[in-house]
Amino acid sequence: MRVSRAERARQLVAVVSVAVMTPAFSVASAAPSETGPVSFVQQLSPLIPIIAAGLGGLVGLLSGIFLERGKAQRADQRLFLETRMRLWLDTASGFSAYLLSWSRLIAIARHEQSSEGLSELEQERKNTYVEERNRARQQLYCCMDQAFLFFSSDVLSKIDDFRAFDDRYRIATLEALPPHEAWRRHQTAILHAMKREVGAK
């Protein structure tokens, strides 16, 4: 059965304690007043290797425990940074898909306005663009929800600004929609803020 570091440390402390409490140690403790310091050292000398081994093992175990704790902290930090990086990349992909779906939907809506309506095939295409836009929006918002757990208030405030903007125009008519660059500005602001925090060059 594998023994943990903490259990091994307790065992070594027990060994040292038993060694100190042996009769030889007790006699040696009284020896200086009876036979002098030389005799005391001679009686104590058999216990020195035991005590030294126990203390050396205890120091080694404690050093190992602190080393393992440091490794765990570095691993946690690395995982945190890797999660930030993944969210940054996923948010970038989500934005690209969302804005592409919007541009396609706006283009076919303008075509519908400028013509006598859409053919059956064009209407199916428009419906597809609507579904793609909604699906891309859901994926993008999912990434942003996760970003609230890993990024600073600077990033989160930009996400809040974008969501307020996006909600305002989500069901707006074609005439009421802002230029496509308005979405791009929010995309750039969020991704640049995230990039600074992931330390990307």
Q: Where are the alpha helices (DSSP H) in 45-116?
A: 48-114
HSE of 53, CA atoms in CB hemisphere, 13 A: 9
Q: pLDDT digit string (tens) for 58-86? A: 676 666 766 666 666 667 678 888 999 99
The span from the CA of 61 to the CA of 6, in Å, is 8
Q: pLDDT digit string (tens) for 137-152? A: 999 999 999 999 999 9
Q: Is 93 exposed, middle or buried (0-12, 13-18, 19+ CB in 10 A)?
A: middle
Q: Mean pLDDT for each consecutive 10-residue tract of the chain (201 residues)? A: 55 51 47 54 65 69 67 73 94 96 92 87 93 95 95 96 93 86 96 91 62
Please tell me what DSSP assigns to residue 46.
Answer: G
Polymer length in residues for the chain: 201
Q: Is 116 exposed, middle or buried (0-12, 13-18, 19+ CB in 10 A)?
A: exposed
User: Quick one: pLDDT at residue 29?
Assistant: 47
7 contacts 59 by C-beta, under 8 angstroms: no
User: Quick one: pLDDT at residue 1?
Assistant: 54
Amino acid at the residue 32 = P
90 contacts 150 by C-beta, under 8 angstroms: no
User: Quick one: pLDDT at residue 117?
Assistant: 84
